[in-house]
Structure formats: C-alpha cells, structure tokens
Structure 1
Amino acid sequence: MCNEAYRRTQLGQVVEEWREVRIPLRFPEGAPNFAPLDGFRITDRVEIVRGGTADGAPVAEMVTRRWSWPAPNGHPVYNFRSDGRRIGDGDGTGRCLIPVEGFFEFTDAPAADPPARGKPPKSKWAFTVAGLDWFCIAGVWRNDPQVGEAWAMLTCPPGKDIVPYHDRQVVVLTPTDYARWLTGEASSAELCRPLAPGTLRVAQVR
C-alpha cells in the first residue's frame, strides 16, 4: 500500500499546465505554500484539488489537508479501496486529486550472502508517469469528527507496471481525466483502474 509520495513541482508550473484542464483552478483559502516535498507521509498536511462551484459553474479548488483519518480501531485510513464503490456519490465523501511527481512502493530486500545481522531495510521504488513532470493520484476526502477534513489515496487492482512490486496500486489519473473525475462526469468504475502497460516508469532509489 502506498504510504509515501513526493512532489518537487513548483506551484507556478501546476497553475500553468492546469490551463489545459477545462475547469479553472481556484485557491479559496489563499495560495498554498506548496513547498517541494522529497517525501510526504501519513498524517502530513498536503495540497489536494477538489471540485467546487463558482457562479453555478464547476471549478477546481486547491486546499491543504491531512493525509489519513482514523479508522474505528485507531489505525490511519490512508489508502481507500475503490473496488465496487461509487466514490463521492452520496456516501459522505468527496472526490479529490493529489498532485505528485511520483509515489513509492517497497519490497523486501534481497537476501544477503552471508546473511546480515538484523533485518535489512526494504528496497524502495519510485514510480512516475512517462512523459509527465507531474500527475495526480485520485483520492477521496471526508470530514472526520476527530481530525477534521482529511483525505486518502484510492487504490485498485494492480496493472502490469505494478504487479512485480505490489498486489495493489494507487489510482493514477492523467490530465484528460482530471475534470471528469472532479465533476463526477466519469464514474468511479470507469476511472479507478490501472493505466495502459508502460505508462508508469520505475526506478530503484534504495
């Protein structure tokens, strides 16, 4: 499950490239800091984009919110299964996008020869989208009574690019689907699926 991602893209680049999306980007709480993040993790406050309206027309709103809300057992809900769910369709949640440059997955480290003392750190893999400086992960947000408004990344069964590394993957969207996701024009079932093989690039960083 994805518990770390990164974003080094500047806000100006996001704003400039968002002009290709057919709904305007607004900052209802003021322009965020949007500092480069080499790695953000569960409970960090990170910028998301969610749907809104202005003068009756759809807009996209960038706000800063916490990653994860507590489950009844106290564990953080940071990934949320999309399988069989109609996200943002009267279920007390809303759709959002998480702008990132890439996300990380972890696998068990190769066995040492001779065996190392203690448990070696897991191998770490960075995933990016071919041809894009940044992209969005589909997410869901809710207003939690304990932590306030918070969000989680949506997951789906893994595509061929992820299968060697994990049995689940986050839902990766590309610019043509940003507006369709935020406005609800496209169903969860349509967009919460892996992209075509070869879309994701992977590099080992540890």
Structure 2
Amino acid sequence: MCNDYRSRVDLDTIRQDFSDIKVRIRFPEGIPNLEPRDGIKITDIGAIVRAAPDEPGTADLVQRRWSWPGPNKQPVYNFRSDGREFMNGRCLIIADGFYEFTAPEDRKAKRKHKWLFTKADEPWFCIAGIWRSTDVGEAFTMLTTEPGPDVAPYHNRQIVVLHRADWTRWLDPKVPARELLRPLAAGSLRVEQVA
C-alpha cells in the first residue's frame, strides 16, 4: 500500500483552488512553511485540511503526523474504507503524487520498482483521510479501496483520490462515505516509473 507520497503544492494554489469551490482556508496554527517535498513517508508531517467546526464554508489547514501506532505498535498509515462511514475525523490530504512499489522481474535484484501516480487532468489532488488524537498527538491516515484500472497492475488496493467536486462533500460527515470512497475511472491517473 501507499507508504510514500509527494506534495509540491504551494499555499497560494491551495487557497485559490479551495476558494474556487467556495471554501475559505484558514490557518489556526499560523501560516505553515510548505516546502515542496518529493517524499513524505510514514511518521513524517504532512498538510491536511479539515472542516472548521465553528464556521460553515471554512476549513483549517494544519500539519500533522502521517500514521498513528496501532494495537500491535505498527503504524496505521493506510486504513480500509470498505463498509465504513467515518462520521467524524474526516480530512483531505494534500498531494500531487503517490508511489507504489513492485518487485523487479529479475528475482535476484534486491531493489523494487518505484512508480509515481499523478492525476491526468489536474496538477494536484486530495486523498481521503481520517485524523484522530492519539498518544503521539493528532495524526492522520489514508483511506483505501479496491484498485481502479490504473492502479490494479501495480497493487491490489489503492488510496482514495477524490474528485475536486467531492472535496467539500468528504468534509461533510452527513454525506455517506460509500458515495465517495471509490477508485478513479480508467485514464484518471498517469503512471511513471521513477526508480
């Protein structure tokens, strides 16, 4: 499953693109320094957007840890969405690419192939996530679903990349999760081998 993603999105772009869908972004902890990052890995800090509880039409952008310790102390960085509703703690994870890894054809080779997935029609996107308070502080995880046709050749699950029109719907817990947590149609993602 996805254990590495990319985010090169700047704050002005985030603020403008959310404004275009009628959501005002605020920074309750101050304006963060979002440097372009080619690799955000498990336990790293990443930018998330979550509904502002006190102001409709507004969302908070904060930076939080990716993953929390599970019952067996292993990091919970991906979470199966199948059959779940997620009535609270919904968030959007800011990204412009995610990686999957496959075993090399040559079984003697030790290094896996690394594949970068980006949106075919948009320069950046949001991944459906949930956040919660844990013993390591507030943290988020990515939701997964069955793989779509673009991801299936590389992995048997995929993270949920939301359509831009669904960002505000995902932040609204009254919208049933099953309407949104699904794979993208064929041709929605570009795939490039990067290692």
Structure 1, gaps ≥5 residues long:
none
User: Deviations for 1:111-166, whole angstroms, at most 9, x for unmatched residues?
Assistant: 16xxx5xx42100000011121110000000111x201100000001111111000
Amino acid at match of 1:32: P
Match of 1:95 among 83, 90, 93: 90
Q: How many residues align?
A: 195
Q: C-alpha separation between the residues in 2 aligned to 1:172 and 1:181?
A: 11
Secondary structure of the corresponding residue to residue 53 of structure 1 = coil
- Report the equivalent of 1:205: 194
Q: Please state whether the residue corresponding to 1:203 is helix, strand or coil.
A: strand
Amino acid at match of 1:62: L
Give me the TM-score of the superposition, normalised by structure 2.
0.96
For 1:75, the equivalent position in structure 2 comes to 74
CA distance in 2, matches of 1:31, 1:80: 29
Deviation at 1:175, TM superposition (A): 1.3
Whole-Å Cα distance in 1 between the matches of residues 145 and 50 of structure 2?
20
**What is the alpha-carbon distance in structure 2 between the residues aligned to residue 199 and residue 80 of structure 1?**
22
Contact 2:96/2:118 (8 A) holds in 1: yes
Q: Does residue 170 of the first structure (1) align with residue 159 of the second (2)?
A: yes
RMSD: 1.3
Q: What is the CA–CA distance in structure 1 between the aligned matches of 2:137 and 2:172, rounded to whole Å?
A: 23
Return the TM-score normalized by structure 1: 0.91
Matched, 1:35 2:45: no
Partner of 2:50: 50
3-state secondary structure, aligned to 1:19: helix
SS of alignment partner, residue 53 of structure 2? strand
Tell me, yes or no, if the aligned pair for 1:58 and 1:183 is still in contact at 8 Å: no
Give the letter aligned to residue 129 of structure 1.
K
Aligned to 2:85: 86
Identical aligned pairs, as a percentage? 51
Q: 1:172 and 1:10 mapped to 2: Cα distance? A: 19
Larger Rg: 1
Q: Which runs of 5+ in 2 are unaligned?
A: none
Shift of residue 54, structure 1, vs aligned partner: 3.7
The residue that corresponds to 1:111 in the other structure is 106
Tell me the residue number matched to 1:12. Answer: 12
- Match of 1:51, as an amino acid? A
User: How far apart, CA to CA, are the structure 2 residues paired with 1:150 and 1:199?
Assistant: 28
Shift of 1:25: 1.0
Q: Deviations over 1:157-179 (max 9, x none)?
A: 11111110000000001211111
- The match for 2:145 is 156
Counterparts of 1:192 and 1:165, CA distance in 2: 20
Q: Please state how far the C-alpha of 1:26 moved relative to its aligned partner.
A: 1.1
Shift of 1:185: 4.5
Counterpart residue number, 1:184: 173
